[in-house]
Structure 1
């Protein structure tokens, strides 16, 4: 039997290897082994090839680009001038695509700019269709001759997925039994699976404010963002606690203000919707549809509040990037707590539940006769884009994992760095977005109405991100970089965790890894002056005037 592994631009036949014979397969070797073809993984691979290193890019799924090609076309950035290097090159390539008249197949460029003031500046474009983003990434990888291996999922079941010796990763093994050896490794996954398997310490959930002397970490009572604006009863039978709580509302108190917990901010899918009749796929009812999941939403609608799809940013060709908005929307609040540490089966179940929830919500809004007719008409006008995610029933291939594990590395970025009261002197990129957390839990307030908790939105000025935040402590691992599940407190991570910043940090991590190889050093011992000089030469933005 022959399986096919895709090397960008070429299909290569690879013989299937039974587990019993896995040990006889010759390991594959490269200077740099990267796990996760997210946007950070792509920029890291391209940078390493430009520095003359051999690269193996392992992707657990079938696509490259992570959230950037997975529906997040409305780039969250804060200040575009903070983005340089290969990240800016990506957005310039997006701009080049949409500068061509033939790219506008379902509307004119002029009509799009009437909807949304042009986001082109110096040739870049910051809003785009998912398939365009993925093609740009694939083109960059092909042009750099990067060896990308798909369906290469880290073996997290046998205890043999990552072999270490003396604080150094020796090999990485995937579920198909193949082994990959590198001088340096990068974990570019949202989950931090390679980092965790290598024994590097990490945090899941929210630290208490006291841990790093912060004010926006831990439980955040009294938040008014994405909150219920009208009172909604949380009980199955309104007014009757004995009838039980509606789905999505948890029993018990939310915790003390500022107190740490293991809860994780909500995930969702960023839907690429369209109102073009020739390109629209109508909302469908999922097999596991449960109308009770939307009873809170129905009560909210009947109370006069409808804002579920209000954050639908126009994308080219009559499409959207639709994100969570309001008190009850696409965020599946409280249903992801087991995801960061979950095995593959647990994560698959959570991903399916999020898909069922969000698909069911859209079908409910468009079809349930109890929903006001004006709402049904407005939602039914939209549908999934027929020409997006064509191998996944037009549903995004990437769950928006806003936060999972966070490394405890050489430096921990905190609220103080984001506010500018503490400044990193070994910058490898800039953060510029709000300190941002989506809601974490939904509970019953003292007045017996439902209440969301955890949303934080606090503006920042651009600030440097420490090199020490993308590498472990030397005693934990000396040949690993972690530019995505990086070292930051919950609230600081909420500012850093933007796709263009991940691209920047992926490039910087790869640069440090290549310099470490050249000097036969631990990655932590790369002289910062050398790293800084190379990053600046490659167009990275490291400080703010």
Structure 2
């Protein structure tokens, strides 16, 4: 064939190939991030800042996870160790509330300045740590818009056969809608760790025994009352007080308590961080669930009858006469013992668990507002509150995100334990810092050995000072996966995770995970083989605080 005809043939062939229709459900990027949490978005921003293409595959429609899902009274800890993009988030919150039109239901000067361990509005540092859900969501959407981040929402990983691996690496993930996302690196930024699990990475669910890592505060902790979330009075657990033959009241387990320090597969309780309004023009009455049964809350009625009076202690004020409302007391918004199946449950089963939590919590609020067994002064005050009309407007003004305080936890290259958190063991290769106390909500509600009802699992042990978090906690063992990073379901014990699991820390670890992913792409190496000095240098340049002497 003459050379000219040969070249013409090649040209026609290339044209034909280029004209082949592309699969509209196939997408490719340097980095694929699964999840819509605060960690997911900070990771995506960091990847873009480092010149990498990135796609966020989010099961959620609304971005930001708990940070935009009602947890506006930030668990700050020591704010001086919150740097990088996490601090940028809280700076943007500050700038939002500098605008007069952000104060619709309350004058700024009337708000006060109460935060959790720090002023709500820190004018010197130009950060704000307390905020409304919609304000947080807007910051995450601004990040997405400004950095031109591709986000595919309502896309759920096919957990059965949606992860394709080759030679120890994830090649692509597939969602239930049929979309396929191919990448060089992957980040699992979900609260549940679904991608991590589907990729065959080792993990743990529940509490390890104290013997596992030589800890003190892991496992069963009956009789340890470090917060106010326990029964201080002798409350009978039986339908007929004092009569075991009458059966247990609702919301009490019939399990026998295991020895202290023993491990189990149980989880600390979940709830919804409700955003309530005290402005008469911006509140809605608490709705009555279809399956409402006041007897479900008989145990709370007995707590009131015994004289307990702390109902409103965790109605924490956020701007515009709203609250971030959290669990408080022996019987409250935490739905104790009803989430054990959640981590491994199917999507359908999880939706049922979430609905049960919502029904329980909505019923609780209706009970507080209407039941004559509730003290009149409580009913009168609860009448000042209602669901905020201008929050979660597409979900009946109820939070989109349940508070998954703990789910799967990876067993990675390193495992953070209470020894590192409490400063008893040095952390090698730090990529960020935490500072909150070892914090677990109650895990179970049982009948104690004395025949009265009691909660178990609530701990709160404060570290001496902020602590570093190692790079090895966000990467799997190399033989399990070479191109995955996990900044939320980190490799840690139950007790250590109780401190690490704060939203600012998730943002910090999201940025660090994306940094490592980008550097590993550039060097074409496994995340486990990345020289720590490279990560350290880049993170330091980007304002991440990794050791105590660097704090802001």
Classify the TM-score, shorter chain: over 0.9
Partner of 1:375: helix, strand, or coil? helix
Which residues of 2 match residues 156-175 of structure 1 at below 5 A?
A: 156=159, 159-175=160-176
Q: Deviations over 1:510-533 (max 9, x none)?
A: 000000000000011111001000
Question: 1:423 & 1:221 partners in 2: Cα distance?
Answer: 30
Matches within 5 A, 1:409-424: 409-424=412-427
Shift in Å, 1:541? 0.2
1:177-326 matches, within 5 Å, as: 177-224=178-225, 225=227, 226-326=229-329
Distance in 2 (alpha carbons) for counterparts of 1:478 and 1:499: 26
1:421 positional shift: 1.2
Change (3 A) 1:322 1:522: same
Partner of 2:502: 498
Counterpart pick for 2:466 among 442, 462, 469:
462
TM-score under structure 2 normalisation?
0.93
Q: Contact 2:412 / 2:474 at 8 angstroms: preserved in 1?
A: yes
Q: Is the 8 A contact 1:428 1:535 kept in 2?
A: yes
The residue matched to 1:336 in structure 2 has which SS? coil
TM-score (norm 1): 0.94
Partner of 1:119: 121
Structure 2: 5+ residue stretches without partners: 1-21
TM-superposed CA distance for 1:357, in Å, is 0.5
* CA-CA distance at 1:118 after TM superposition: 4.5
1:474-503 deviations in whole A, cap 9, x for unaligned? Answer: 011000000000100000000000000000
Q: CA deviation at 1:24?
A: 6.1
SS in 2 for 1:272: strand
2:479 alignment counterpart: 475
Report the equivalent of 2:101: 102
Give the secondary-structure state (helix, strand or coil) at the position aligned to 1:256. Answer: coil
- Write the distance in 1 (CA, Å) between the matches of 2:25 and 2:341: 36
In the alignment, structure 1 residue 345 sits paired with structure 2 residue 344: no
Alignment partner of 1:30 is 2:32: no
Instruction: Please give the alpha-carbon distance, in whole angstroms, between the structure 1 residues aligned to 2:114 and 2:216.
Output: 39
Aligned with 1:452: secondary structure? strand
CA distance in structure 1 between the aligned counterparts of 2:392 and 2:370, rounded to whole angstroms = 24
The number of aligned residues is: 521
Query: 1:320 is paired with a residue of what secondary structure?
Result: strand
Q: 1:231-273 deviations in whole A, cap 9, x for unaligned?
A: 2111111111111111111113211000000000000000111
Alignment root-mean-square deviation, CA = 1.2
Residue 290 (structure 1) shift = 2.0
- Shift in alpha-carbon separation, 1:181–1:325, aligned structure 2, 3 A: same
- Trace 1:399-410 onto structure 2 (pairs within 5 A): 399-410=402-413
- Tell me by how many angstroms 1:308 deviates: 3.1
- Within 2, Cα distance between the matches of 1:293 and 1:415? 37
Deviation at 1:114, TM superposition (A): 6.3
| 1:46-125 mapped onto 2 (5 Å cutoff) | 46-113=45-112, 118-120=120-122, 121-125=124-128
Q: Is 1:205–1:262's contact at 8 Å kept on the other side of the alignment?
A: yes
Q: Which moved more, 1:42-51 or 1:370-379?
A: 370-379
Q: In terms of Rg, which structure is larger?
A: 2
Given that 2:171 and 2:183 are in contact with CA atoms closer than 8 Å, whether structure 1 keeps it comes out as: yes
Counterpart selection for 1:540 from 519, 541, 544: 544
Deviation, 1:306, is 2.9
Give the match for residue 359 of structure 2. Answer: 356
Q: State the partner residue of 1:151.
A: 154
CA distance in 2, matches of 1:474, 1:270: 37
Q: 2: CA distance between counterparts of 1:287 and 1:98?
A: 38
Q: Distance in 2 between matches of 1:252 and 1:44?
A: 42
Tell me, in whole angstroms, the C-alpha distance in 2 between the residues paired with 1:250 and 1:309.
26
Distance 1:72 1:115 in 2: 15
Aligned to 1:4: none
> What whole-Å deviation, never above 9, does each CA across 1:179-224 have from its counterpart, x for those lacking one?
1100000000000000000000100000000000000000002122
Please name the residue that 1:137 is paired with. 140
Question: Structure 1 residue 388 and structure 2 residue 380: aligned?
Answer: no
What CA distance in whole angstroms lies between the structure 2 residues aligned with 1:309 and 1:338?
Answer: 30
Structure 1 alignment gaps of length 5 or more: 1-22
1:298 CA drift (Å): 0.7
CA contact (8 A) 2:54 2:150 kept: yes
